[in-house]
Chains A and B, each alone.
Chain A
């Protein structure tokens, strides 16, 4: 990189000579420094980063050439990651997307996989972006065989990541890592503050490079280019400056006029678009999420909910990525606007740190002890970026996990103390629906011990040092909530099963002995079939409906009716029922499993009694209890 800087100095000198000869007009080249302020220098207060030729992650910013090689090497080495050329920049450079998943495009049930798209480096000067996105790639690959969250995502979803969309612009910023040109309208006689107020080319290039040479000091083209984050369909041209070609936010001649934004659309097709459930465009700086809100209340509620989960996870990592919610129906033609409005999915513009405007925290580069000079937030110090990368990865992965969809119960098995199967039911997916296939359905005995094993469709718990824990920043009920309910002797009953965190299975073993496909996708516990349910006759059996109430580690409740497949349509979940069987976005308890229990092992009514056994009751028994308590209360008052 030192070589690049030298080359740029030589180039600048050549241009300077040409200018003196009256052959061209020159912009003034300004320099960011650590400590020196002068007529053409601006101190940031910390060393100004220059790109490093390293493929491995460092405490610093990698050069594009090495980042790209790193991505390509990972894609070649790991079958779970493939590269796809999605476009070519104005200057003829490849724009690459990377797809993560298994060989097929279907989940373990044979359904088309949900998909997520993460875009990086649409604005050239935002160097935090490619590093944060690359960390995401690295974590997916490093943890691909974790038998948990990542393996689940790879086998059941389709993740598409574009690390660097604005390749030409990014290279221009790395070509001149410490240099910019003066603000439009200023001259060499202007104050340094004015000259540095709106730096536009070199390290502070934001736009792409159509017809722009790579020589920093060329006056004629330095303000040219299209703001790729104003070149989308929805709200195209709504800002007055969107139609001024030299403006920082020039939107181009038409929506998606630019090869880079066209490449982003191509990347979305890899999902394909119809399967997209999440989009993030990764920018810096401000440490917020800008969250578009189409006129779709269900989508907006879901988006705000997941944005809060994202924020909570970043808080657990020591940073506060605050969701700034747009007004409903407003936008400025960002790519996040496009995906939110066109595909009705949770979408946002991530603005990576440093923060801006937070109470008690310095703005921009001052956050790192710098001067807080104008635009310094785009130049985070080398020493910060490793922490930034690490802080953001868990939140992004959580979004994939959440938007993969709610879990459903795949299988329930019960065995007696001799490990003989007495009940077995499994949901089988047939096209667009599922049916419960009960293969074993024996009569159980009240008061007897059994072993219960329940398999879910995704890993349901997060572990730290092998112990069940909350996913960073999330708060869910960790223990499974299980009960039997039914109706006997014309009275409804409910009996809880004692369960705890240790019921989650992190050892392989499959049915009745461990997890099925992913760590913690199953629970197993021993229980005593309740006998304290009052029946009218000792003949026959009573159905005990097993009720399963569990959240996944992102807080999504179960799909209460697995018969209807969950999908994403028109900005919300479909086929996602609550306990009452009503479709919506909250889910509920699944009580699809009727276990037969012999009446002769239950409590025989003596002249028609109530069901009031331990573990809670329901229906009429509750009313009786209420009346009794009311009576007691009246007595006391008296």
Chain B
């Protein structure tokens, strides 16, 4: 597996790139055929019960450093690393963290579900994270200084070639956007849209800061990574309900990846804003039909439920339409929708035997 595949391209996890090279080397040397540490690999004294762990931690403050167990040393190391201020690390701190970054755990407990030792504390990962935060803090301070001294240079630096930026610089740039004005963010987003991938965290953040309908629409009708879901939720709320309706309609019609979530949000728009035909038309969509059914269920709109009931027994309706119409009534869960379903079953109006069986089970 390419290690890069494991790196989420989110704001927070760009940090991972800091260690990608190290990790690549590690995986290359160990290979995917590596196995986990097994019980048989350990000295029995390295394995602690939960009661022993609790007892060791409770007694740590009464012990001199010379008499500490490995578990206690690891516990104290984690405590020490966590209390360090990433923005104010001393030379000594940095040395400590660098050394701790390659520490291999020596204290284990048993996995809850089977015979596998589990490291009790992950000192190395905590140290790496603290170092990452330190580098980000340094870059952020440099950006803040640049912004204070020369606003134009600062803005130019944001759009400079990101491929050359370290992960820490990229994260610092994104964090520094918090202080941009709406217009500055809009200008930046407009520039970035011309050159960057839509999943670029700096672009996403600048669009969020810009609070601009067109920019948001340009982003959301194409964005299809893990960040898209939070953005759809956050961005659409920046606008009036009519703008939300337009934005969500664009997403539903243009971005199949986000469309199911967008349909659910669309259904919760006020009734005077929502266009019901959009939901009903989507019932025949092979991918989104069931999502449209769910959306209709969420409207609690009895008129729409009646239209579902009609469609479910319509002779010319496709199998998919019938299924989605029935699903919509099922998902609604309220008494009215249930009564419509009951009527359909009682009158044996479902054209497909397997569907009739399923629906009957719902009503049991």
Residues on A lying within 8 angstroms of B by beta carbon are 2, 34-35, 37, 43, 45-47, 50, 52-56, 58-60, 66, 69-70, 72-77, 79, 82-85, 185, 191-194, 198, 229, 248-249, 283, 286-288, 290, 315, 318-320, 322, 324, 326-327, 332, 334, 349, 351, 355-373, 381-384, 387
Question: What's the least CB distance linking B202 to chain A, in Å?
Answer: 16
> Any chain A CB within 8 A of the CB of B1?
yes
Q: Is the CB of A383 within 8 A of B225?
A: yes
> Any chain A CB within 8 A of the CB of B359?
yes
Could you show 6 A-B contacts with beta carbons less than 8 Å apart?
A: A52-B261, A77-B320, A369-B19, A372-B124, A381-B10, A387-B6
| A249 in contact with B112 given A358-B35, A371-B126, A371-B129 (CB within 8 Å) | yes
**Residue in B closest to A353 when the chains form the complex, CB atoms:** B6
Q: Residues of B contacting A35 with CB < 8 Å?
A: 12, 133
| A59 in contact with B290 given A369-B8, A371-B129 (CB within 8 Å) | no
| A53 in contact with B10 given A72-B330, A75-B358, A249-B112 (CB within 8 Å) | no
Question: What's the least CB distance linking B76 to chain A, in Å?
Answer: 10
Chain B 10-49 interface 0/1 with A at a Cβ cutoff of 8 Å (1 = within): 1111011001000100110110111111100000000000
| A370 in contact with B229 given A46-B13, A47-B11, A83-B361 (CB within 8 Å) | no
Q: Residues of A contacting B114 with CB < 8 Å?
A: 288, 290, 324, 326, 332, 349, 351
Q: Residues of B contacting A72 with CB < 8 Å?
A: 327, 330-331
Q: Which of A53, A73, A318, A360 contacts B327 (CB 8 A)?
A: A73
Q: Which of B29, B287, B326, B355 contacts A360 (CB 8 A)?
A: B29
Q: How many chain-B residues does the 8 Å CB contact rule pick out?
A: 87
> Any chain A CB within 8 A of the CB of B206?
no
Bound: A46/B6 CA distance, A: 12
Q: Is the CB of B8 within 8 A of A368?
A: yes
Q: Is the CB of A290 within 8 A of B113?
A: yes
Q: Is the CB of B260 within 8 A of A56?
A: yes
Residues on B lying within 8 angstroms of A by beta carbon are 1-2, 5-13, 15-16, 19, 23, 26-27, 29-30, 32-38, 50, 54, 57, 75, 78-79, 82, 111-119, 122, 124-126, 128-129, 132-133, 224-230, 233, 256-257, 259-261, 264-265, 287-288, 290-291, 293-294, 319-320, 323-324, 326-327, 330-331, 352, 354-355, 357-359, 361, 364
**Residue in A closest to B26 when the chains form the complex, CB atoms:** A360
Q: Is the CB of A361 within 8 A of B27?
A: yes
Q: Is the CB of B361 within 8 A of A286?
A: no
Q: Is the CB of B1 within 8 A of A319?
A: yes
| A322 in contact with B35 given A55-B291, A76-B326, A384-B8 (CB within 8 Å) | yes
Q: Which of B10, B79, B126, B355 contacts A46 (CB 8 A)?
A: B10
Bound: A106/B310 CA distance, A: 37
Q: Which of A47, A79, A249, A359 contacts B10 (CB 8 A)?
A: A47
| A288 in contact with B12 given A82-B358, A357-B118, A361-B26 (CB within 8 Å) | no
Q: Is the CB of B9 within 8 A of A371?
A: no
Q: Is the CB of A45 within 8 A of B13?
A: yes
Q: Is the CB of A381 within 8 A of B8?
A: yes
Bound: A315/B34 CA distance, A: 11
Question: What's the least CB distance linking B72 to chain A, in Å?
Answer: 13
Q: Residues of B contacting A366 with CB < 8 Å?
A: 122, 124-125, 128
Bound: A363/B128 CA distance, A: 13
Q: Residues of A contacting B324 with CB < 8 Å?
A: 73, 77
Q: Is the CB of A363 within 8 A of B11?
A: no
**Residue in A closest to B291 when the chains form the complex, CB atoms:** A55
Bound: A185/B23 CA distance, A: 37
